[in-house]
Structure 1
Amino acid sequence: MNKAKTPKYSPEVRERAVRMVQEHRGEYSSPWAAVESIAPKIGCSPHTLHEWVKRHEVDTGLRDGVTSEECERIKALEREVKELRRANEILKLASAFFAQAELDRRLKS
């Protein structure tokens, strides 16, 4: 059974952590040093906090990349394409079935 991954941290905690990194970045020798210092205060790993900071930077246009909104739209479109392909396959099979049935009916007449 594949359970959906539930976020361990609320959006408010994530936003606060990112804000702390941004506000205190200048007090450290590097952005990573700020992340390493703040992550334990939030209760997450430096890697996790760094990912949140990068995601925020992409979403706000400070860093190149695909925004969270765009990612969600892409996922929705991929799901739709998958459903449409499945529907097309069903329609192809049904069309072939009915074409064969019509051919059989004509041959028997």
Structure 2
Amino acid sequence: MTKKTRRRYSDEFKAEAVNMVRGEGYAISEAARRLDIDRSLLDRWCRQQRDREDGVTDGQADERDAEIKKLREEVRKLRIEKEVLKKATAFFARESS
């Protein structure tokens, strides 16, 4: 079994790849396929470029990502609670009739 080596990409290659998506209007998946790179890698490069343009530092981006993850989990829990309350309301409405 051979160990797979990690490919390195130059800053120029990354900039051109991001430009395909942001400047030329390619979809991330299409540009990634044409460049023979993983879609998630190109997505990360695009996000990093957007963060640099917005003046967001890596620490702020990590903090933002953690907050988004926490909020998504909270939304998931609230949706479950809402469904339980809907079912309970329907149950008690039938019982009182």
What is the TM-score with the length of structure 2 in the denominator? 0.47
* Structure having the higher Rg: 1
